[in-house]
Amino acid sequence: MNDHHERPPFHFQHHTRCRLGVAVLLAAAMLIAAASNGRAEDEAKPDTFRAAAAEVDITPDQPIGISNLRGLSTGIADRMFARVLVIDDGTAPIAIVTADVVGCPISYARALGKSIEEASGIPADRVMFNCSHSHNVPGVGLPADPEEPSFGRDVLEKITEMTATAVDRLKPARLAVGRERCQIGFNRLMPTPGRVTMTVNPDGPVVPWVDVLAAYGHDGSRIGILFSYAAHPVVIHSSSTLISADFPGRAATHLRRMLGQGERKGGVMMFAQGCGGNINAFPLKGGIDAADRVGLVLAQAVTRVQLRDVAPARIRSASHEVALPFQEPLSVEEAEKLLAQRPGDLRYQRLANLAKAGPSPDMPYPMSAFAIGDQVCILALPHETFCDYQLWADEQSPYGETLVFGYTGGVQGYVAAKQDLDYGLLRAGYGAQMTNSRMPLKPACEAIIHQGISDLWQKLEEK
């Protein structure tokens, strides 16, 4: 990793094009706000940041159910970790928490934020919880009985204690941000004449870069490196019944080794999952050794990032929630008529079952964001959001650098792009199709999310 800032980070084409639409309006709002704040804003600007990072082992001590296995795990290939980066501008800290878990309900992420607030003083709305979504680790949740022990409760308590410890260790720091080209995943939805199938689509959209936010002490020590990439961690998948954080965990291990020399050795290496809902890391089901190689490629990309210092500035936070409607099911009569024509077709059986179940309630879609002055925005989106939304947000953002996380604040289903949902009930690919429990989202959800992100940026500018 370049620590000398000799040239600006790799920005890709969108940083050289004129931003239109919402970006122009928000940029104008930023200028107006800056002019109106004047001297008061300058006086509020901090002289420095303070930062701290920490990690804790969250590996279960007994066999446990992991994603895509019908049975329990049979051992441990590598340990699971939760990690936190706390940054303070002198007013109120923010906390970015990442964990090697496949997902969690929205209620769990909110309970974690509340627990962290009670233990550390960081407001719950200034906490982000990102799940790596490895398919060889368990998810987390809380049992209905508050006294009942569970893996999810154990993880919550460990993260809470870890974050409180990090707050106690805050020290003067500088931040740096950067981006580097990297591709370890491919779009997994291939249109065919009959329907969309799940396979490698080399021409499909991906997010071909890794984003990095690094924190260093004023003494030159490395506090932590947060790196983010968008792809399903399924290099191991069902090829092994062992617990593993897949390529994100292996990348962190390689970074500790690669950056463990010199005056800046040490620091916490933490991975944040991007919007990889329609991207698979490659090779799918390649095994543990393949995951190690993929992690190495990602780690090497992180070390190539040309970092640029982030000037001390006030850190603002905002949250916004929208509701995503599902498509209406067919009538029972229509569905049963179709099923009678193809009684052995699983898709038509699902249509009949969903018709009998009736309409589904809207899917909550809670978003949050941190803004460091007008230089950096960290945008957090929930669920298994398709990469199209990350690409759109990166293009439209009024901030100099924008890191977009998916799988943050709750992971309860896929959020496909309009172009995928437009294929229809019986042709759409995985993530855009109906499931056993619900109809697909309406194509209009894309516009709802775009507007929600724009509203969230507006909230940031009003703070």
| Interval 303-332: pLDDT, tens | 999 999 999 999 999 999 999 999 999 999
| Interval 384-423: pLDDT, tens | 999 999 999 999 999 999 999 999 999 999 999 999 999 9
My answer on whether 345 and 223 are in the same domain is no
My answer on whether 233 and 111 are in the same domain is yes
- Displacement of CA 370 from its chain's centroid (Å): 14
pLDDT band with cut points at 50, 70 and 90 for residue 265: confident
For residue 353, the enclosing domain spans 327-357
pLDDT at 263: 60
Q: How many domains does the chain have?
A: 2
Residue 294 scores a pLDDT above 60: yes
My answer on whether 372 and 353 are in the same domain is no
Mean pLDDT of 277-305: 98
Mean residue pLDDT of the chain comes to 91
Residue 31 scores a pLDDT above 80: no
Residue 189 scores a pLDDT above 70: yes
Is residue 112 situated within a structural domain? yes
Is residue 177 situated within a structural domain? yes
For residue 41, the one-letter residue type is: E
> What is the rounded distance in angstroms from the CA atom of residue 43 to the CA atom of residue 47?
10
> What is the rounded distance in angstroms from the CA atom of residue 427 to the CA atom of residue 452?
28
C-alpha torsion 6→9→10→16, nearest 10? -100
pLDDT at 125: 97
Q: Three-class SS of residue 97? A: strand
My answer on whether 142 and 80 are in the same domain is yes
* Range in 44-48, 333-337, 438-442 with the lowest mean pLDDT: 44-48
Residue 333 scores a pLDDT above 50: yes
Nearest to 8 by CA among 300, 309, 215, 404: 309
Is residue 69 situated within a structural domain? yes
My answer on whether 200 and 58 are in the same domain is yes
Is residue 422 situated within a structural domain? no
Question: For residue 180, how many C-alpha atoms fall within 13 Å in the half-sphere facing its CB?
Answer: 21
For residue 35, the one-letter residue type is: A
| Interval 101-160: pLDDT, tens | 999 999 999 999 999 999 999 999 999 999 999 999 999 999 999 889 999 999 999 999
The backbone torsions φ and ψ at residue 34, rounded to the nearest 5 degrees and listed phi first, read -65, -40
Residue 227 scores a pLDDT above 70: yes
pLDDT at 69: 77
* Range in 10-24, 165-179, 372-386, 393-407 with the lowest mean pLDDT: 10-24
CA distances from 412 to 108, 265, 310, 329, 393 (A): 11, 38, 34, 20, 21
Is residue 454 situated within a structural domain? no
pLDDT at 70: 79
My answer on whether 179 and 306 are in the same domain is yes
My answer on whether 66 and 184 are in the same domain is yes
**Strand-pair partners of 279:** 187
> What is the rounded distance in angstroms from the CA atom of residue 230 to the CA atom of residue 251?
14
> What is the rounded distance in angstroms from the CA atom of residue 1 to the CA atom of residue 390?
24
* Range in 20-34, 219-233, 386-400 with the lowest mean pLDDT: 20-34
For residue 221, the one-letter residue type is: S
> What is the rounded distance in angstroms from the CA atom of residue 425 to the CA atom of residue 283?
29
My answer on whether 187 and 223 are in the same domain is yes
Residue 206 scores a pLDDT above 90: yes
For residue 182, the one-letter residue type is: C
My answer on whether 201 and 298 are in the same domain is yes
Is residue 30 situated within a structural domain? no
My answer on whether 297 and 351 are in the same domain is no
Is residue 36 situated within a structural domain? no
My answer on whether 270 and 308 are in the same domain is yes
My answer on whether 284 and 388 are in the same domain is yes
| Interval 425-459: pLDDT, tens | 889 999 999 999 999 999 999 999 999 999 999 99
* Interior angle at CA 166, CA 173 and CA 459, nearest 5: 70
| pTM across the whole model | 0.91
Is residue 32 situated within a structural domain? no
pLDDT band with cut points at 50, 70 and 90 for residue 17: very low
pLDDT at 262: 63
Six-digit token string for 144:
């209905």
Residue 27 scores a pLDDT above 60: no
